[in-house]
Amino acid sequence: MGRAMLVQAPRRARFLTTGILALVLSVLCACESKIIPLTEQEKQHMTTFTEHMTTRCLGRYLVDLPASFILNPIQRIEIEGVEIQIEPMTKLQFSMMLKDRATGLANTTIGVRPEYPMLQETYPISGNDDLGSVFNRAESDSNGSRGGRMLELHAWKNGYAITANVKATDTRFPEYAGDKGIQAMEIDVPEKLALLLAVYQRTQGRADTEVPNGQGVCFPNGLVRGPATDQEHLDISYYLGGAPDVSFEFHSLSDIGPEDTELLDRGAAIEGSLKAKHGYTLRKGHVRGQLEGAQEWLIGYKPLDEIAYQSFTLEANSKTGSAMAPLIVLDFGVGSRIPEAPLSLEEVAVRKPLSKATLSESEAIALWDVVVPTLRPRPGAF
């Protein structure tokens, strides 16, 4: 679709039983003529597939996904200007990693003539059983400039390794003494360090299926406690275990402000692009149920000499886009590869192309109609 599209969640918790799934499937079969009814085999497959649903905490929302969906490490989490990643790790593993990182930074220089140290200063982290450091380093080792700083935090807390970064500016280096423009720039390292540590103090590890209580924003393996702010940007993905082409992507943005249009308002542009891409609309409109104001657009593609694939989007809060009502997008794809880290040329050369989508078009719609009604704000999260 080319643009993040957003959703607001219903308030109802997990409610999907086999009986309700059967109702969803029967309604699905009566939809627009472009939607092919499920076969009996497909109905049985989807009933089994969605029998075990697991609640996941995404941002300040909850959604129920089949238990077979796995957290994708490809993510972007930025809270109050601080980028954060968390992963389970033993204390010994973390200590070795921290030592290697400190040594690597200490041995790295930037620039050519003269050379400057990459690392300027290290601040230890202490408190309770916490272990770690903040490295005040040059933002980049490619341009030879020391003015752009990166405050890079590595810490271990209760079985989780926390990495957090925030950009800063420092123009107090002698090479900038004669540049009035640079000298006029704000020096904000102390303020950014205080911000980084404040966010870290509210950060904790979290199991993927753990649903926390109270105010806070969830992200993969972690949680930042506190009330909602207008500086939260999350891109989180889950994919179907064992399948290279089935994924849900959740996007929450409270930092963009209200938009002039909603999903359906952009219909002319969307429809105009479909013909060139051999695409067609399966269904579009307002989402029924407790997704107040949410809109959806379900698209199928049948490109020449390639497998058919689907791209579905749900969007809400486009015209609010605030801390208490962030722009929410839920994207679902079948038949095209899941988000992944860039591959090397060798990996690309040996990877076989997809020969068939894991789910049929009808199954994709059935799964979408099971998951979407479960998207809801987490009670007390805001």
For tokens 């889950």, what's the residue?
A: 238
pTM greater than the 0.85 cutoff: yes
143 and 172 Cβ atoms separated by less than 8 Å: no
As annotated, the residues of the chain forming the CATH 3.40.1000 domain(s) are: 18-79+229-377, 82-204
Per CATH, which fold does 82-204 belong to?
Answer: Protein Transport Mog1p; Chain A (3.40.1000)
Reading the chain (382 residues) residue by residue, the pLDDT tens digits are 433 333 333 322 322 333 434 434 433 433 344 789 999 999 999 999 999 999 999 999 999 999 999 999 999 999 999 999 999 999 999 999 999 999 999 999 998 778 999 999 999 997 777 899 999 999 988 777 899 999 999 999 999 999 999 999 998 888 888 777 777 778 999 999 999 999 999 999 999 999 999 999 999 999 999 999 999 999 999 999 999 999 999 999 998 877 889 999 999 999 989 988 899 999 999 998 666 889 999 999 999 888 999 999 999 998 887 999 999 999 999 999 998 877 777 877 778 889 999 999 999 999 999 999 999 999 999 9
Q: Which helix (H) or strand (E) holds 47?
A: helix 40-49
pLDDT digits (tens, 9 = 90+) for 81-99: 999 999 999 999 999 999 9
Q: Which helix (H) or strand (E) holds 21?
A: helix 18-29
For 92, 148, 156, 288, 318, the CA distances from 366, given in Å and listed in that order, are 46, 49, 42, 15, 26
148 and 169 Cβ atoms separated by less than 8 Å: yes
Beta pairing class for 232-240 and 203-205: unpaired
Structure tokens at 291: 């997704």
**pLDDT given at position 28:** 42
Pick the CATH number of 18-79+229-377 from 3.40.50, 1.20.1070, 3.10.290, 3.40.1000: 3.40.1000
pLDDT digits (tens, 9 = 90+) for 39-82: 999 999 999 999 999 999 999 999 999 999 999 999 999 999 99
Handedness of CA 239, 240, 246, 248 (dihedral sign): negative
Q: 218-235 b/e with 16+ CB inside 10 Å = b?
A: bbbbbbbebebeeebbbb
- What one-character-per-residue DSSP string does 162-201 give? EEEEEEEE---SGGGTT-HHHHTS---HHHHHHHHHHHHH
List, in sequence order, the alpha helices (H) in 50-175. Answer: 91-106
For 42, 309, 350, 376, the CA distances from 306, given in Å and listed in that order, are 23, 9, 18, 36
Peptide bond into 114 cis (omega under 30): yes
The residues that bridge with 195 in the sheet, in sequence order, are none
222 and 84 Cβ atoms separated by less than 8 Å: yes
Q: If we measure between CA atoms, which residue out of 195, 188, 158, 248 comes closest to residue 83?
A: 195
194 CB contacts (<8 Å, ≥6 apart)? none
Number of continuous H segments (helices) and E segments (strands) in the chain: 8, 21
**pLDDT given at position 182:** 75
